[in-house]
A and B are shown apart, each in its own frame.
Chain A
Amino acid sequence: MSHPLLLSRRIKPLASLTLAALLAVGCSTPIVAVAPEPAAAPAAPLRASNRSSVVQAAEQLDAIVLAGLTKAGQTANPSATDQQFVRRIYLDAIGRIPTRAEVEAFLADAAPDRRGRLVDRLLSSPGYTMQMFNWLADTLRVKDRIGKRQAMSFLFQDWLETQLTANRPWDQMVRAMLTADGSLADSGAAGFLLRDAQMPLDGVSNLLTTFLGADVGCAQCHDHPRGEWSQKNFYEMAAFFGASDGYHEEYKSQLKKMARKEQIPANTKDAQRALYPLLYRMVDLRRNDLTYPEDYKYENAKAGASVRPALIAWRPEDRRQTAYQIEISDPGHLRDAFARWLTHPDNPRFAAAIANRLWKKAFGIAVQEPVTNLDDPAEASNPELLSALAARMKHVGFDLREFQRVLFNTAAYQRGASVTPDPAQGPYLFAGPIVRRMTAEQAWDSILTLAVGPRIDGIFLRRGDEMRKYALEGDELSPEAVRAVLARLQADGGYGKKAAKRGKTLHYIGGTPETRGRLVLARASELPQPAPETHFLREFGQSDRMVSNDSTTDGSVPQVMSLMNGPIQELVTDRRNYVLSDAAKAAGDEARLRALWLSFFGRAPHRDEQAQAAAGLRAGLGVADLAWVLLNHREFLFVH
């Protein structure tokens, strides 16, 4: 089979790196443009299904939302204005605010289906992949450095990005992650299981809550207090991974042995660095060696006995579904069997779990909260809606983009936003989407839109090229193979002292991002994962990627200090930047203010705002000061 990465829009030979090129950039994170390249190839085209079928599907969901509201004696919010809609859809579909020009182009469109067409256009643009990468990176805990293993997951990230660009269906992506064999060089998808290979029970707990909304965390140690899952259930599920191992070659001692025998150069550091991340392999052993814990305290199994894999079911009748017809006799294929069950359209929770999460992404709150627990769908705020969403997800063949296309076309999504509901007042029934603070990634990407302009959508980080280049050929850690790797490395100048930063260098295609001090002005998805801990992104709540969905949108004093005084406000108030150059083209204060308002808020200023801002200008404030004010205005950080 061809390497999955060959499908990538980004595959390009790595340009040779020179130290001079590194130094020329002059920033502490060296960045390098790998090759001048036109804007990225378009994402996979939207499904052939015509717009009217999308609209029909959206109307079907709307009827269920309205029925839910009516039953509770509530009414839907009025429709959002085009101005509200255009900002919201840019943020939700491509992860950044629209530019002034993009807002005006939309507002000038009088066609009745302008909203639907804008949705289609955005979902086919590279920003969609960036936005989805951020969203999945939070859920799948995407992290460059895992433990002490630098850059371990670069190839996993490349894989993920490629799947999103190709719009590979979710069931296929998940199956690939669960069944990948070999090293990261063999399959980037292996990074998912390798991440938790040292703690398989936690790994299983994570994947069950993430992919199914099966709340098994408690059952890892004891029967679930409310009786949903027993510890036996948990171990039986974990047993599907009992024969799998994230095998790690004892490469250090082997390299040293080779060096002692003078089969490879005495200094093994370069070889260690190049080979380390690729010596982890997902393998299936001949037997499943999971056993019940020594302190197992229930009658239904014996402590220390080996565990026979068995699938959980939410209701007895679930077991009659085709999904449950799997073969479990061969320990070498347990993961395959498990993945087939998990991703099967008949699996009672797989479609609902991802549909519920995507609904939350669009509306700010899920039909059933928390998204990690769908064990009792009757607890959903609108159970009919949850079931219709699951059905829609299956109907579109787990095509996440097509599913979101339907959501974005609903009248429910296109209504005015509600403020965050109080859970004590009963379930929220989707009178409209809820007001949200931008995610850290949306805020960063929006600020770059102001400072740099939309060309940030065309600058891409390449992560795993070096790793692939210096991968061991074949499966054997032999002296010949190591010498071949070292020769390739040597030809590029080796790691050496001077090129010590090599592994930390960021390689870009599509253009060289600008830098300001330590800040690299590329989109959040095209920066190290996660960003360094004092970076704007982390300050605004990007997850440290230790646990799933750990990002926050809570405010803090350091955040507002950063907006008032930090490098971010310098970017936004720089007269030569994108947004101020654009405003400078407008003739007269009124047009200039309108341009600024459209750029920051996606709307024209109200009369009073116009008057106050104009008075400010007369009193000596400049446009840069206005940019500062609009950045610090709370309307900016929020999605309405």
Chain B
Amino acid sequence: MRSELLRLEDPGRRAFVERLAKTAFGLTVLPWLPGTARASVAPAARGHGSARAVIMLQLKGGMSHIDTFDPKEGPSKGPRGVLRTKAGFQVTEFLPETAKIADRLCVVRSMTAKVGVHESAQYLMRTGYEKRGTVVHPALGPWLQQYLGSSHPTLPSSVCVNRSAGHGNGFFPAATSPLPILDPDEGLQHARPAARDAVMDRRLGLLRALEQHATGAMADDNAKAYGEFYESALRLMKGKDLDAFDIGGEPANVRASYGDSKFGRGCLLARRLVERGVRFVEVESGGWDHHKELEDGMEEEGTQFDTAFAALLRDLEARSLLSSTLVVVATEFGRDPRINGSGRGHYPKAFSCVLAGAGVKRGHVHGATDARGAEPTDRPVTVPELHATIGWAAGVPLDKELVSPSGRPFTIGNKAKPVMEVFG
């Protein structure tokens, strides 16, 4: 098996997928062969399958809903005023560019969760499951790949930008884990072979031969996973799509429109990848944990987000990709309606997320919070429901369970129902 995984020639997607299923799991465990699910779904209900791709913007640290998409008057009011938008709802003055494209957005103001600790909240938002000691759940990108198959013969099906690979494939095969790009400027590093093809082939030939003698330790799951990563890396290196990772190929004016920030460059990379056939791209923006100096922080992180997010939507729209790409603004939790010193504490009970593109209503607000921004008062949405909604848009059969290697059944969003009202 090891040598099989290290095979150099491009085996073609079908063969690869089949081999993967055999090597990683065995068909009995996996009732859904990757790649077969979509065909079997009846063409369908509103919104189902409308998203060929998903771009998830993760605002790490916890975005203050009150200072962004759910402005409040009175004691909860933040440091800035509000902007009216042509969509009829308001955002704060921290988001002037977003205000201009509000008519493309569906703002979910009634997100609610129980977890107020960063790591657990990140886990919940990435996987749709609460963190447990006995099982590691897959993140959304691997979920989609497991149901829908690979989105491209050589490019990865999911990529995470500005963060490392943790919260990845969970109990799915390692080959589904998101490919991490830590710095969008650098793109995918080290993809050019270190030596001439003939030399590389001989080296790989010897490597393959030697690994056949590898001892029992190589039967470890993680060690096996490395075999799969070599397989994926070699296919990428041999393929013709590496420039998808190079934002240097974008014209100066396009680069400039996303703003001079790592997050902005990450969003540009996301658009480029989606355009080339990557299904799921997560872009992380750090620094939202505004316990203090909220105003300074919002000026920095908020402005970077505002510029990049608006540019991303305009760019996708200009390329006719918005109708098939779902853009999601996600975060860990909201921030406390009470201002403490110069900032706000963690606040999971009420927060905001945003959906745009791919058959989602435009210029719409779903749900509401009370006058303080402290509780959802209308149509509360949980994180698993958000996941189910994304899965629905991506065309996943939500009622089909996948069985983990430990024999437990799981579904995307943990059996939660999609929020159908967000679809137009």
Listed in ascending order, the chain A residues whose CB lies under 8 Å from chain B are 198-199, 201-202, 205, 217-218, 220-222, 294-295, 369-370, 373, 417, 419-420, 422-425, 435-437, 533-534, 538-539, 541, 544, 546-547, 550, 552-562, 564-566, 569-570, 606, 608-609, 612-613, 616, 619-621, 625-626, 628-629, 632-635, 637-638, 640
Our pick among B118, B133, B189 for the contact of A566 (Cβ within 8 Å) is B189
Q: Taking the nearest CB of chain B, how far is it from the CB of A194, in angstroms?
A: 13
User: Contacts of B210 on A, CB cut-off 8 Å?
Assistant: 609, 612-613, 629, 633
Interface residues of B in 188-236 (CB under 8 A from A): 188-195, 199, 202-203, 205-207, 209-211, 213-223, 225-227, 229-230, 232-233, 236
The answer to whether A556 and B182 touch (CB under 8 A), given A424-B407, A634-B223, A635-B214, is no
Q: Which residue of B lies closest to A573 (CB)?
A: B194
Contact with A along B14-31 (1 / 0, CB 8 A): 000000000000000000
Give the CA-CA distance A101 to B216 in the complex, in Å.
26
Give the CA-CA distance A634 to B202 in the complex, in Å.
17
In the complex, the answer to whether A555 meets B189 with C-beta atoms within 8 Å is: no
In the complex, the answer to whether B203 meets A539 with C-beta atoms within 8 Å is: no
Q: Taking the nearest CB of chain B, how far is it from the CB of A233, in angstroms?
A: 16
The answer to whether A634 and B214 touch (CB under 8 A), given A420-B222, A422-B406, A554-B165, is yes
In the complex, the answer to whether B213 meets A609 with C-beta atoms within 8 Å is: yes
Which 7 A-B residue pairs are closest in the complex by CB-CB distance?
A424-B406, A566-B190, A419-B220, A565-B190, A561-B190, A435-B220, A217-B117
Stretch in B143-151, B172-180, B360-368 touching the partner:
B172-180
Q: Is B8 an interface residue (CB 8 A)?
A: no
Q: Which residue of A lies closest to B198 (CB)?
A: A620
Our pick among B117, B177, B203, B213 for the contact of A554 (Cβ within 8 Å) is B177
Q: Is B134 an interface residue (CB 8 A)?
A: yes
In the complex, the answer to whether B117 meets A558 with C-beta atoms within 8 Å is: no
In the complex, the answer to whether B194 meets A419 with C-beta atoms within 8 Å is: no
User: Contacts of B190 on A, CB cut-off 8 Å?
Assistant: 558, 561-562, 564-566
User: Contacts of B209 on A, CB cut-off 8 Å?
Assistant: 612
User: Contacts of B266 on A, CB cut-off 8 Å?
Assistant: none
If A221-B346, A557-B156, A625-B203 are given as contacts, then 6 extra A-B residue pairs at C-beta distance below 8 Å, sorted by A number, are A218-B114, A221-B114, A424-B407, A533-B183, A562-B189, A565-B192
Give the residue among B202, B203, B216, B405 with the most A Cβ atoms within 10 A: B203
Q: Is B153 an interface residue (CB 8 A)?
A: no
Q: Which residue of A lies closest to B336 (CB)?
A: A293
Q: Is B36 an interface residue (CB 8 A)?
A: no
In the complex, the answer to whether B166 meets A550 with C-beta atoms within 8 Å is: yes
User: Contacts of B237 on A, CB cut-off 8 Å?
Assistant: 561, 564-565
User: Contacts of A370 on B, CB cut-off 8 Å?
Assistant: 133
The answer to whether A629 and B203 touch (CB under 8 A), given A199-B345, A417-B217, A557-B236, is yes
In the complex, the answer to whether B225 meets A565 with C-beta atoms within 8 Å is: no
In the complex, the answer to whether B191 meets A565 with C-beta atoms within 8 Å is: yes
Give the CA-CA distance A404 to B178 in the complex, in Å.
37
Q: Taking the nearest CB of chain A, how far is it from the CB of B121, in angstroms?
A: 10
In the complex, the answer to whether B164 meets A557 with C-beta atoms within 8 Å is: no
Our pick among B186, B223, B236, B289 for the contact of A435 (Cβ within 8 Å) is B223
Q: Is B119 an interface residue (CB 8 A)?
A: yes
Q: Which residue of A lies closest to B134 (CB)?
A: A423
Interface residues of B in 18-70 (CB under 8 A from A): none
In the complex, the answer to whether B291 meets A557 with C-beta atoms within 8 Å is: no
Give the CA-CA distance A554 to B134 in the complex, in Å.
17
Q: Which residue of A lies closest to B194 (CB)?
A: A565
The answer to whether A632 and B182 touch (CB under 8 A), given A424-B407, A561-B188, A566-B190, is no
Q: Taking the nearest CB of chain A, how far is it from the CB of B315, in angstroms?
A: 25
In the complex, the answer to whether A558 meets B217 with C-beta atoms within 8 Å is: no
Q: Which residue of A lies closest to B193 (CB)?
A: A565
What's the dominant secondary structure at chain B's contact region?
loop
Q: Taking the nearest CB of chain A, how far is it from the CB of B188, in angstroms?
A: 7
In the complex, the answer to whether A560 meets B226 with C-beta atoms within 8 Å is: yes
In the complex, the answer to whether B226 meets A555 with C-beta atoms within 8 Å is: yes
Contact with A along B138-166 (1 / 0, CB 8 A): 00000000000000000010000000111
Our pick among B213, B229, B374 for the contact of A555 (Cβ within 8 Å) is B229
Give the CA-CA distance A423 to B165 in the complex, in Å.
22
In the complex, the answer to whether A539 meets B220 with C-beta atoms within 8 Å is: no
Give the CA-CA distance A565 to B194 in the complex, in Å.
4
Our pick among A419, A557, A620 for the contact of B233 (Cβ within 8 Å) is A557
User: Contacts of B380 on A, CB cut-off 8 Å?
Assistant: none
Q: Taking the nearest CB of chain A, how far is it from the CB of B224, in angstroms?
A: 9
Our pick among B193, B199, B348 for the contact of A221 (Cβ within 8 Å) is B348
User: Contacts of B202 on A, CB cut-off 8 Å?
Assistant: 616, 619-621, 625
In the complex, the answer to whether A564 meets B174 with C-beta atoms within 8 Å is: no
Give the CA-CA distance A280 to B348 in the complex, in Å.
30
Give the CA-CA distance A561 to B230 in the complex, in Å.
8
In the complex, the answer to whether B116 meets A424 with C-beta atoms within 8 Å is: no
User: Contacts of B220 on A, CB cut-off 8 Å?
Assistant: 419-420, 435, 638
Interface residues of B in 317-358 (CB under 8 A from A): 338, 341, 343, 345-346, 348
In the complex, the answer to whether B211 meets A634 with C-beta atoms within 8 Å is: yes
Q: Which residue of A lies closest to B168 (CB)?
A: A554
In the complex, the answer to whether A638 meets B223 with C-beta atoms within 8 Å is: yes
Q: Which residue of A lies closest to B296 (CB)?
A: A148
In the complex, the answer to whether A628 meets B217 with C-beta atoms within 8 Å is: no
User: Contacts of B289 on A, CB cut-off 8 Å?
Assistant: 199
Give the CA-CA distance A566 to B117 in the complex, in Å.
37
In the complex, the answer to whether A560 meets B233 with C-beta atoms within 8 Å is: yes
In the complex, the answer to whether B134 meets A419 with C-beta atoms within 8 Å is: no
Give the CA-CA distance A544 to B180 in the complex, in Å.
14
Our pick among A550, A552, A553, A633 for the contact of B207 (Cβ within 8 Å) is A633
Q: Is B120 an interface residue (CB 8 A)?
A: yes
Our pick among B164, B191, B194 for the contact of A570 (Cβ within 8 Å) is B194
In the complex, the answer to whether A547 meets B291 with C-beta atoms within 8 Å is: no
Interface residues of B in 218-274 (CB under 8 A from A): 218-223, 225-227, 229-230, 232-233, 236-237
In the complex, the answer to whether B233 meets A621 with C-beta atoms within 8 Å is: no
Q: Taking the nearest CB of chain A, how far is it from the CB of B337, in angstroms?
A: 9
User: Contacts of A547 on B, CB cut-off 8 Å?
Assistant: 118-119
In the complex, the answer to whether A553 meets B222 with C-beta atoms within 8 Å is: yes
In the complex, the answer to whether A554 meets B221 with C-beta atoms within 8 Å is: no
Give the CA-CA distance A144 to B182 in the complex, in Å.
19
Our pick among A544, A613, A634 for the contact of B206 (Cβ within 8 Å) is A613
In the complex, the answer to whether B203 meets A628 with C-beta atoms within 8 Å is: yes
User: Contacts of B80 on A, CB cut-off 8 Å?
Assistant: none
In the complex, the answer to whether B164 meets A539 with C-beta atoms within 8 Å is: yes
Q: Which residue of B lies closest to A546 (CB)?
A: B118
In the complex, the answer to whether A552 meets B222 with C-beta atoms within 8 Å is: no
Give the CA-CA distance A638 to B216 in the complex, in Å.
12
Q: Is B1 an interface residue (CB 8 A)?
A: no
In the complex, the answer to whether B191 meets A555 with C-beta atoms within 8 Å is: no
Give the CA-CA distance A612 to B374 in the complex, in Å.
68
User: Contacts of A544 on B, CB cut-off 8 Å?
Assistant: 164
Give the CA-CA distance A637 to B223 in the complex, in Å.
9
Give the CA-CA distance A541 to B408 in the complex, in Å.
28
Q: Is B292 an interface residue (CB 8 A)?
A: yes
In the complex, the answer to whether A625 meets B133 with C-beta atoms within 8 Å is: no
User: Contacts of A558 on B, CB cut-off 8 Å?
Assistant: 179-182, 188-190
In the complex, the answer to whether A628 meets B232 with C-beta atoms within 8 Å is: no
Give the residue among B166, B174, B219 with the most A Cβ atoms within 10 A: B166
User: Contacts of B118 on A, CB cut-off 8 Å?
Assistant: 546-547
Our pick among A294, A616, A633 for the contact of B338 (Cβ within 8 Å) is A294
User: Contacts of A638 on B, CB cut-off 8 Å?
Assistant: 217-218, 220, 222-223
Our pick among B192, B217, B229, B374 for the contact of A556 (Cβ within 8 Å) is B229
Q: Taking the nearest CB of chain A, how far is it from the CB of B63, in angstroms?
A: 16
Q: Taking the nearest CB of chain B, how far is it from the CB of A335, in angstroms?
A: 21
Our pick among A222, A437, A626, A632 for the contact of B114 (Cβ within 8 Å) is A222
Contact with A along B105-127 (1 / 0, CB 8 A): 00000000011111110000000
In the complex, the answer to whether A616 meets B222 with C-beta atoms within 8 Å is: no
In the complex, the answer to whether B217 meets A419 with C-beta atoms within 8 Å is: yes
